[in-house]
Structure 1
Amino acid sequence: MADITTRIADLGHIKLHMAESGAGRDDLVILLHGFPEFWYTWRKQLPVLGDKYHAVAPDMRGYNLSDRPAKAEAYKINHLVKDILALAAHLGHESFYLVSHDWGAAVAFALTMFAPDKVKGLMVLNGAHPYIFAKLLETNENQIAHSKYITEFNDPKMEEKLLADNCDWLWNWTFAEHEKRGLITPDEKAEYIKAWQQPGVVTAMLNYYRMSPVRPRPASKGEKGLNLDPKQFMVHVPTYILWGEQDHALMPENLDGIEDFIPDLEIERFPDISHWVTHEAPDVVSEKVGAFIEKVKGRK
């Protein structure tokens, strides 16, 4: 398998730290992590993909070793999209494949809607379509209940909670069970704690939520929902969704009606996998990403 190397990409408006494998290969594959991860979530996929493609996993702005703008407004979705488009251009590619998870999927969906000509194919691992998710957060009591953390993340005391006791609460909330099952080693845990404890990282991670208009707005409590035009949320590129059905953050209703927004869509469900797909099924992810890319290439 190909080696993983890391470097800083100076994009002019921001510097992003990135890991890559297979540099110089024809097809660019950009892998976008979610909260509260960093490029490291793709550590088992990068060497496999690097055998055939130029696989690149950036630390998105604010995370780990990438630049952390101080203002919360710098974490609005338009800035996150700009970063990835600029990264692809910096790497010398007009178009690319996108692989995404969680918050990375939010960025990937937005990018694909804004610049479909740049995306050859979109792959989403347990990531919510923004229109469907926004509507569920207005009407689906189960999704609202499981998303209360989004509201809690707006509490100015949340930074202190996430950093306390060597990030104990955050680790227990996310990956403690994976560590117990041997899916994350003590050394790998140390990498996560180190990334979270970089100065300002926790605030930057929370700013993604604080700047997002998508949050619980229960109609049952009289809250007004977002005035969204569904026509603005169409995805016009080949898309593959890998969905772990044991997800406790995103309810399965996030897939209901999604084909209305993505005409060229394939969905594959995995009943024994949770939200944390790359940790629980790393080989499956590598295989499915490669198969999807080759399927899209085969059409041409």
Structure 2
Amino acid sequence: MTEINHNTVKIGDINIHYAESGTEHQDLVLMLHGFPEFWYTWRKQLPVVGESYHAVAPDMRGYNLSDKPDGIKSYRINYLMADMFGLAEALGYEKFYLVAHDWGAGVAWAMAIAHPKRIKGLIILNGPHPYIFSELLSKNDTQIAQSQYMAYFRNEGIEDDMLANGCEWLLKWTFETHLASGQMTEDDKHAYQEAWTRPNALKSMLNYYRASPLTPATAENKGKGFGLNPDDFGVKVPTLVMWGEKDHALVPENLDGLNALVPDLQIIRLPNVTHWVTHEAPDIVSKEILSFVDEQAGQSGAT
């Protein structure tokens, strides 16, 4: 397997840190993490994908070693998209493959919708399509209930509570079972604690939620929707969705009707996997990324 190396590049006014493998290869596979992760969630995929492709996993703005601009507005989707397109351009790529999980998937869906000609292929891991998710947040009782953390994360100042006792609450909410089962090690735990406790990191991470227009419905506005037009959210990019069916935050209905919005769609359901797909099924994730990108690149059988 290839080594993982680290670099930083200036995109606009901010510095973006990224990890990479396979710099000698021509095609870029850009891998976007979610909350509350950082490039490290792809640590097992980077060297495998890097055997055939230039695999790059950034710390998105606000996370770990990347800059953390002030203000909630700095975390709106247009800035998050511009960072990732800018990173690809800085690395010398106009078009590329995009792999993403959770909040990273939110950015990736938006990138593919807005600029389909720049995305060669899209791979989503447990990240809801924005239109379907908006409908479920408005009308689906289970999704509304399971998304109450999104409303909580919008509260100002909660980052101080989440940082207490070595980020005890956040570790319990995310990776407690993985640490107990051995799917994550003490070294992994310390890596996350280090990333979360960097100055202004957790506040910036939570600003993704504070800047988003999507939030679970209340009793007062349930069923009213967000005024989105599904015609504006079509994805004209070959897409693979890998979905852990035991996700604690996202209901299975996030896949219902997805093929109407994403005509060139493959879905792989992982019945015994939760939201944290890269930790629970790392080998499957690596294998399916390579298989899908090989297929799109016309290199079937490549390893």
Q: TM-score, normalised by structure 2?
A: 0.97
Give the AA of the match of 1:215. Answer: T
Deviation at 1:225, TM superposition (A): 2.4
In the TM superposition, what whole-angstrom CA distance separates every residue of 1:191-230 from its partner, at most 9, and x where no partner exists? 0000000000111010000000011124x53354211111
Q: Equivalent residue for 1:170? A: 170
Note if contact 2:4-2:21 (Cα within 8 Å) is conserved in structure 1.
yes
Name the CA distance, whole Å, in 2 between partners of 1:248 and 1:87. Answer: 32
CA RMSD in angstroms comes to 1.2
Residue 247 of structure 1 is matched in structure 2 by: 247
Residue 279 of structure 1 corresponds to 279
- Percent sequence identity over aligned pairs: 53
SS in 2 for 1:221: coil
1:82 equivalenced with 2:82 (yes/no): yes
Paired residue for 1:221?
Answer: 220
Q: How many Å apart are 1:48 and its aligned residue?
A: 0.3
Task: Single out whichever of 154-163 and 278-287 deviates more from structure 2.
Answer: 154-163
How many residues align? The count is 299
- For residues 222 and 107 of structure 1, do their structure 2 counterparts lie closer, same or farther at Cα, with a shift above 3 Å needed? closer
- Residues 87-146 of structure 1 show CA distances to partners (whole Å, capped at 9, x for unaligned) of 000000110000000000000000111111110000000000000001100100000000
Shift of 1:58: 0.1
Q: Which amino acid aligns with 1:279?
A: H
Which residue of structure 1 lines up, in the alignment, with residue 258 of structure 2? 258
CA contact (8 A) 2:80 2:107 kept: yes
Separation (CA, whole Å) in 1 of partners of 2:52 and 2:158: 42
**Cα distance per residue 1:42-75 (max 9 Å; x no partner):** 0000000111000000000000000100111000
Residue 157 of structure 1: how far off its partner (Å): 3.1
Aligned to 2:268: 268
Distance 1:283 1:299 in 2: 20
Contact 2:139 2:225 survives alignment (8 Å): no
Off by >2 Å, runs of 4+ in structure 1: 220-225
Specify the alignment match of 2:66 in structure 1: 66
Query: Secondary structure of 1:6's partner?
Result: strand
Contact 2:98–2:119 (8 Å) recurs in 1: yes
**Match for residue 204 of structure 2?**
204
Q: Which residue of 2 aligns with 1:187?
A: 187
Q: Note the C-alpha offset of 1:14.
A: 1.7
Of residues 151-160 and 24-33 in structure 1, the stretch that sits farther from structure 2 once superposed is 151-160
**Structure 1: gaps (5+ residues):** none
CA distance in 2, matches of 1:179, 1:165: 17
1:1-300 correspondence to structure 2 within 5 Å? 1-218=1-218, 220-223=219-222, 224-298=224-298
Instruction: Name the CA distance, whole Å, in 1 between partners of 2:221 and 2:281.
Output: 41
Q: Deviations over 1:150-206 (max 9, x none)?
A: 111111131112101110000000001100000110011100000000000111010
Distance 1:286 1:159 in 2: 33
* Superposition deviation, residue 149 in structure 1: 0.5
- TM-score (normalizing by structure 1): 0.98
Closer/same/farther in 2, CA of residues 263 and 179 from structure 1, 3 Å limit: same
Structure 2 unaligned blocks of 5 or more: none
Q: What is the alpha-carbon distance in structure 1 between the residues aligned to residue 42 and residue 276 of structure 2? A: 11
> Aligned partners of 1:2, 1:58: CA distance in 2, in Å?
17
Q: Provide the C-alpha distance between the structure 1 equivalents of 2:49 and 2:174, rounded to a whole number of angstroms.
A: 26
Give the secondary structure class of the aligned counterpart of 2:30: strand
